[in-house]
């Protein structure tokens, strides 16, 4: 059963991340938005040192089996992904672009955690416990296709002896430059081992920094999350060890087992993207309420809607949207922690949070008038940062399709 009481480890983590958000992120938020692609090393180094106390890569926590001789003491249920959701929300309250620079294992690590073997998890995720910050990324999108990329993958992986040879181009790789150039990190590249097999032939491969034939060719200039680099990567006769394939190299006829295994990554990452979105939404709503109070605008609560002013109803509706979306995030993460399938819940959380953050930030800009549209405060930045949460890790439209298919029990051929 889901408990609404926050476990003490999460309370402690939230307290720490709040201090980081207030003292290390908010003060430099505008600077790194204005100086796109400048790397926030002070924040990165601090988070690297702090993460070592929490075990390095944050996505790898698994419930430990109780030893028979272990003495009885107060136990908490598995909370690894719930803990990470709280961290993502609070750090994004500070600054979501800086949060995406955290060297704690994000999208690439999530792919390894979701689909890798125990040996692969140890090999790749142990890097986050080293002396230097390490970054990771996931390379899915290709220039000719957006959300339909998995069924239209042109990047190929051909087995040559004991090596895979990758050829293709990937775009919009979050933290791609940091992973491949600025650290000894890695990206997870989705490629097909058999173009004729369609989705069944798609597999994820780990490409490590310094691998010949893997080149970062471009950094995007973006609307929001400017502190986080978004790169284009070209793979030209890029050779990686056979062991760097995540999952089986065998293609099972008329199944998409390999593809579905890789897509399990999104069941991990989508609730965390949703949590990040809600951090932006909470920051915006809190600031809006502060400004309204300063302007001596009444914000009564607990009254029938008919007795509220229009502004009071709007603020109340924003609170409801924010809290209901957060409950969806907690449920999806609780299910992941307890090893329950959460494909539906992960997509529901992502859809709701993506909607909520865009609506709250947009309305805050409107209600604050010229101040909200100016760079004097951070609301206009939060508005720009918000939209990406409805786009990456599967657009709102794609996630709505997933939700509909799961609820109605339709296949992708029946509902597309």
Residues 95 and 22: their CA atoms lie apart, in Å, by: 10
In this structure, what are the phi and psi dihedrals at residue 217, rounded to the nearest 5 degrees?
Answer: -105, -15
**Residue 359 vs residues 3, 10, 373: alpha-carbon distances, Å:** 29, 28, 15
Residues of the chain with CATH 2.40.110.10: 132-244
Q: How confident is the chain (416 residues) per 10-residue block, as mean pLDDT?
A: 78 93 98 97 95 62 46 61 94 98 93 91 93 95 74 88 97 97 97 89 95 98 97 98 90 60 82 97 98 92 92 96 97 94 96 98 97 97 97 92 94 86
Residue written as tokens 């003491």? 73
Confidence at residue 153, expressed as pLDDT on a 0 to 100 scale: 85
Confidence at residue 76, expressed as pLDDT on a 0 to 100 scale: 54
**CATH code for residues 132-244:** 2.40.110.10
Q: Which residues contact 25 (CB under 8 A, 6 or more apart)?
A: 43, 91, 94, 95, 98, 99
What fold characterizes domain 257-408?
Butyryl-CoA Dehydrogenase, subunit A; domain 3 (1.20.140)
Confidence at residue 61, expressed as pLDDT on a 0 to 100 scale: 45
Start-to-end CA span in the chain (Å): 34
- What percent of the chain has pLDDT above 90? 76
Residues of the chain with CATH 1.20.140.10: 257-408
Residue written as tokens 């809290």? 323
**CATH code for residues 8-61+76-127:** 1.10.540.10
Residues 178 and 214: their CA atoms lie apart, in Å, by: 14
As annotated, the active-site residues are 393
């Amino acid at each position: 059963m889901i408990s609404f009481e926050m476990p003490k480890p999460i309370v402690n983590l939230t307290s720490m991340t709040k201090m980081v958000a207030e003292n290390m992120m908010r003060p430099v938020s505008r600077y790194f938005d204005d100086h796109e692609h400048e790397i926030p090393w002070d924040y990165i180094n601090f988070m690297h040192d702090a993460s070592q106390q929490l075990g390095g890569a944050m996505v790898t926590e698994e419930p430990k089996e109780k030893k028979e001789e272990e003495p009885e003491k107060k136990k908490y249920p598995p909370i690894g992904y719930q803990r990470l959701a709280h961290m993502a929300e609070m750090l994004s309250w500070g600054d979501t672009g800086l949060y995406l620079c955290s060297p704690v294992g994000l999208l690439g690590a999530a792919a390894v955690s979701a689909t890798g073997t125990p040996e692969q998890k140890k090999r790749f995720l142990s890097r986050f416990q080293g002396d230097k910050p390490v970054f990771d990324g996931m390379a899915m999108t290709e220039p000719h296709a957006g959300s339909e990329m998995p069924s239209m993958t042109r990047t190929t992986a051909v087995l040559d002896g004991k090596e895979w040879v990758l050829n293709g181009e990937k775009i919009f790789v979050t933290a791609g430059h940091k992973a491949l150039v600025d650290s000894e990190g890695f990206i997870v590249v989705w490629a097909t081992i058999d173009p004729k097999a369609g989705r069944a032939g798609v597999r994820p491969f780990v490409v490590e920094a310094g691998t010949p034939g893997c080149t970062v060719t471009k950094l995007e200039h973006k609307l929001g999350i400017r502190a986080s680099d978004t790169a284009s990567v070209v793979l030209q006769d890029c050779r990686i060890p056979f062991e760097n394939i995540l999952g089986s190299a065998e293609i099972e006829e008329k199944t998409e087992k390999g593809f579905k295994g890789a897509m399990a990554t999104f069941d991990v990452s989508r609730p965390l993207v949703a949590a990040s979105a809600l951090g932006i939404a909470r920051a915006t709503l809190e600031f809006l309420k502060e400004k309204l109070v300063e302007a001596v605008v009444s914000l009564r609560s607990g009254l029938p809607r008919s007795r509220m002013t229009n502004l009071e109803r709007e603020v109340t509706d924003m609170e409801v949207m924010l809290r209901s979306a957060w409950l969806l995030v907690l449920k999806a993460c609780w299910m992941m922690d307890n090893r329950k399938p959460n494909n539906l819940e992960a997509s529901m959380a992502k859809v709701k949070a993506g909607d909520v953050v865009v609506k709250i930030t947009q309305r805050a800009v409107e209600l604050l008038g010229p101040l909200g549209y100016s760079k004097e405060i951070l609301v206009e930045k939060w508005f720009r940062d918000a939209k990406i949460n409805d786009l990456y890790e599967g657009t709102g439209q794609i996630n709505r399709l997933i939700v509909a298919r799961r609820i109605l029990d339709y296949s992708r051929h029946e509902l597309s």
